[in-house]
Amino acid sequence: MQLKKASVLVVDDDTDVLTAVRLLLRPHVRDIVAEKNPDLLPGLLRQQSFDLILLDMNFKSALNTGNEGLYWLRKIKELKPEVAVVMITAYGDIDLAIRSLKEGAADFVVKPWHNEKLLTVLADAVGKKSKGDASSAAKNTTEIFGTELLGESEAMQDIFLKIKKVAPTDANILILGENGTGKELVAKAIHQYSLRASRPFVKVDVGALTESLFESELFGHKKGAFTDAREDRPGRFEAASGGTIFLDEIGNISLHQQAKLLSVLQNRQIIRLGTNDPIPIDVRLLCATNVPLPELANESRFRKDLIYRINTVEITIPPLRKRGKDILLLANHFAAVYADKYMKPVPELSKAAQEKLLQYHFPGNVRELQYAMERAVIMADGPVLQPDDILFSPIEAAPVAEKLTEESNLEELERATINRVLQKHGGNLTRASKELGITRTSLYRRLGKYGL
C-alpha cells in the first residue's frame, strides 16, 4: 500500500503536534484523524479502520508511569494487530522507543523531526504492513553500518537503531563504554548518517591536552598570544565548522577546562587566545568517555551542568564479553581484513579456536580481538586457525601487583594500583590518570597522600 492510500490516526496530547502533523500529512494520505485523548483509542478503532497510527510515547493525563506509549501500543495490538504503529518519542525516551519495536511497533520518530524524514518513516511503515513484514526496524543494520561497525547481538542492534534515529538531528550525544569498545566508530557512524556528513569530522583527545594547550587547541590563538604563537591559528571548533566535533575522553578533563568548554557550548561562540573577538560556531557535538555515568556525575569530578549540555542522548556500548557471538563475527571480519593486507588466504576458525574466543573475557574489548587476529593471521601455518594460533596480549592480562597481606585494606590496594600504573607509563601522569579513570588533579592528590 502507498502512503497516499492510507488512513492515518494521530494520537498525541499536544495540540500543536496534532496541528502540525495534520497539516503535513493532509496532502499525502487518504484521510487523517487527530485525537488528543488516548482513552478514546479503543472506541476509534472499533468505529473506523486505520492503516497507520502515529502514537505518542507519553501522555500528561493518562497512566503517568512513563510507559504510556507501550500500554496503548499493546491495546492497539490486542484490538487491531494488523495496524502499523509508529511511535513519537523525545530524545530521553529512545531506550523506551526501542522496547516498543520489540512489542510490535513498526518504527519510531524523534521529536523534533524533519518533515521529509517523517514522511519516509510513515511510508516505510505502510509498505511493510502491506507486505506482511513484521520484522523490526533493526533488520539489516549489520549491512547498513558497513564493514567497520559490526554486530548482530541485541545490544548492538539497539545501538544501530539509536544511531539511525539521532544521527539526522543536531542533538549532542554522549558515548559511554570501556576502552576498546568502538566509541570512535559510533561517533563516525553518527556523523556519516547526519545531515552534516559532507562537512568535517574533527576528533580531539581532550583527555590528553594539558591545561596550557586546551584553549589553544580547541579555540585557536592569535599571533603573539604566547611564546610559540608565531601565526594566527584556528582551533578545532573552527575547523569543524558546519560539521561534527568529537571530544574523546571528556571524562578526564579538569574542572577548569570544563568551565571553559561549558561557556563555549552555552554561548555557541569561541574566543581565540590573544583576542576579545567572539567567533560564532556551528558544530554538532559528540563526546565519549570510559568513565561510568554515575561516577562522572560526581560534582567533585565533573560539572553536572556540563553533563546535561553534552548528554541530550547517551549511547552505551557494551563490552565485547557481553556481546555473545559478535565475537566470532568480528574475529572472522578481522581475519579477512588482515589476510588481504598480508596477501594470505583467509583462514577459518576451528571449533576449538572459536570456543577459546567465546570463553575469553577480553579486557581490551574489540581492540584486543583485532590485534589477536592480526597476529594469528601473520603467524598461522595452515588454512585453519587453531587455539594455539590465537594469543592474547599480556598487556591486558590482570597484573599481579604488590602482594597484599590479609590485613590489606582499600587504601593499600589503591596505592598499589597507582604505583603499578605509574611504573607502566614511566611516570607519565597524563597517561596514568587516563588509565586510572581519574583527573590529573585527583592523581596529584593521591600521590601526595601515599607519598609516591
Residue that wins the pLDDT comparison between 440 and 405: 440
Cα–Cα distance measured from residue 274 to residue 226, given in angstroms and rounded to the nearest whole number? 8
Domain boundaries, the chain: 3-131, 154-316, 320-396, 410-450
- Name which of 58-67, 142-151, 304-313, 378-387 the model is least confident about: 58-67
The C-alpha cell 583527545 sits at 205
Going by the DSSP 8-state scheme, the letter that residue 217 receives in this structure is H
Which amino acid would we find at residue 146? G
> Is-same-fold flag (3-131; 154-316)?
yes
Residue 419 confidence (pLDDT) = 79
What is the rounded average pLDDT of the residues 115-138?
71
Report yes or no: 86 and 100 within 8 Å, Cβ to Cβ.
no
Which pLDDT tens digit goes with each residue over 393-433? 776 554 444 444 444 566 677 777 887 887 777 777 777 88
What DSSP element (H or E) covers 415? helix 410-424
Average model confidence (pLDDT) for the chain?
85
Q: What is the dihedral of CA 143, 147, 149, 152, to 10 degrees?
A: 50
Classify burial at 343, counting beta carbons within 10 Å of its beta carbon; exposed 0-12, middle 13-18, buried 19 or more.
exposed
**Fold observed for domain 410-450:** Arc Repressor Mutant, subunit A (1.10.10)
Classify burial at 260, counting beta carbons within 10 Å of its beta carbon; exposed 0-12, middle 13-18, buried 19 or more.
middle
Residue 137 confidence (pLDDT) = 44
Return the C-alpha cell found at 221.
590563538
Beta partners for residue 286, in sequence order: 173, 246
Which pLDDT tens digit goes with each residue over 190-243? 999 898 999 999 999 998 888 878 988 999 888 876 767 778 888 999 999 999
Cα–Cα distance measured from residue 260 to residue 318, given in angstroms and rounded to the nearest whole number? 31
3-state secondary structure string, 46-78?
HHCCCCEEEEECCCCCCCCCCCHHHHHHHHHHH
Return the C-alpha cell found at 12.
498525541
Which pLDDT tens digit goes with each residue over 299-329? 788 999 999 999 988 999 999 999 999 999 9
pLDDT beyond 70 at 40: yes
What DSSP element (H or E) covers 435? helix 429-436
Q: Domain 320-396: which CATH class?
A: mainly alpha
CATH number of 3-131: 3.40.50.2300
Confidence of residue 452 (pLDDT cuts 50, 70, 90): low
Which pLDDT tens digit goes with each residue over 180-198? 999 999 999 999 989 899 9
Q: What's the CATH architecture for 154-316?
A: 3-Layer(aba) Sandwich (3.40)
